[in-house]
Amino acid sequence: MHKLLDNVPWGKVSHPLHAFLVILLLSATCALAQSVTPSSSTSQPSQPPVSESAYSHANKLAALSRAGNVDATRELSREPFRNAGIPTEVADAFGFTDRIAQAEIAYRQGQHSAVHEQDVVNAINNLASTLGAPAWTHTNQAEVRRLRVRLFATLPKLFANHEPPDAKGLHSLLSSKMSPIEASYIATTMLCMKVFYSDFQFTDAERAKNRTLDPAAVAATQKQREGQMLDIVQGRSNTMSVTDLLAAGDHLFADLGMPAQQTSQMQKTNAPVTAAKAPKGGF
């Protein structure tokens, strides 16, 4: 799974602001944001040391967050956006990282309920319906579980099951429960997969049928579906206003159990930030 987004056709995404808003709704995975020179007085989010991989850095943050380190939780809340190539400063400005961090801190303190795979399914499918996306973009619990297993390979500290064994002494790889950060990571990644990766662009029935078809025909269908999704990302196939898009983004995170807050202590204490150039890396 690592380097998953290296082959994303970044140049196909056009208007940076529109792409960012739509991808926050598709949960943030395919856009290039406009490059702005950071102010020298601006506090920038921490980045992994040059000698440390992004995955190692994220795993360390996940371990610290699980142990109750609030600063690590705040920084870990940026990972779904950072790994998707969206400037974390922009995600901060729209309040998305803050709401994830608040939910995660409350979850670790026993004051926020867990997120379940079906919650992720509902959030993605509700968003797809709102955007008028094709029926094949809808997901299901089995597909969400498959993606969680893939992500576990590179981010075990974030995705591994830390619950005790069951009554039979068995310990499953993944818990039925997810923290808010894990659920956000799964949702953002799943929606990117729906744009660019054939493994996630066909229903179970279609995949079974594809095994009997000419591979060239299957590839042509996949290319057509990628084009459909890029039309949505570029704003060519919907008439939603920016206000509508932001509202849909709010609903996505609300469906994951992370409603927007009017004003939070984090927003009061965080220094202002300016957008930086989005990385072109992958998961």
30: amino acid identity, one letter:
C
The residues spanned by each domain of the chain are 15-33+52-262
192: amino acid identity, one letter:
C
Residue 106: exposure state from Cβ atoms within 10 A (0-12, 13-18, ≥19): middle
pLDDT at residue 236, rounded to an integer: 62
pLDDT at residue 234, rounded to an integer: 63
Name beta bridge partners: 116.
177
Phi, psi of 177 (to 5 degrees): -105, 145
Query: Tens digit of pLDDT for each residue in 175-200?
Result: 888 999 999 999 988 888 888 888 89
pLDDT at residue 132, rounded to an integer: 81
**pLDDT mean over 96-107:** 93
**pLDDT mean over 159-171:** 79
User: Residue 278 above 50 pLDDT?
Assistant: no
| Phi/psi-derived region of residue 30, left when phi > 0, alpha when psi is between -120 and 50, beta in every other case | alpha
Instruction: Decide if 5 contacts 281 (C-beta within 8 A).
Output: yes
| Phi/psi-derived region of residue 27, left when phi > 0, alpha when psi is between -120 and 50, beta in every other case | left
Q: How many CB atoms lie within 10 A of CB 221?
A: 17
pLDDT at residue 149, rounded to an integer: 93
Query: Tens digit of pLDDT for each residue in 30-75?
Result: 433 322 333 333 344 456 666 678 889 999 999 999 998 999 999 9
Higher pLDDT, 202 or 11: 202
pLDDT category at 243 given cuts 50, 70, 90 is: low
pLDDT category at 118 given cuts 50, 70, 90 is: very high
- Lowest mean per-residue pLDDT among 77-86, 164-173, 209-218, 235-244: 235-244
Average pLDDT, the chain: 75
- Lowest mean per-residue pLDDT among 10-19, 116-125, 194-203, 220-229: 10-19
101 vs 54: CA distance, rounded Å: 19
Q: What is the DSSP string of the chain?
A: -TTTTTT--GGG---HHHHHHHHHHTTS-SPPPPP-PPPTTSPPPP---TTS-HHHHHHHHHHHHHTT-HHHHHHHTTHHHHTTT--HHHHHHTTHHHHHHHHHHHHHTT-SPPEEHHHHHHHHHHHHHHHT--GGG---HHHHHHHHHHHHTT-HHHHS--SPP-TTS---SS-SEE-HHHHHHHHHHHHHHHHH-GGGSS-HHHHHHHTTS-HHHHHHHHHHHHHHHHHHHTTSS----HHHHHHHHHHHHHHTT----SS-HHHHHSPP----PPP----
Higher pLDDT, 282 or 94: 94
Q: What is the pTM of this model?
A: 0.74
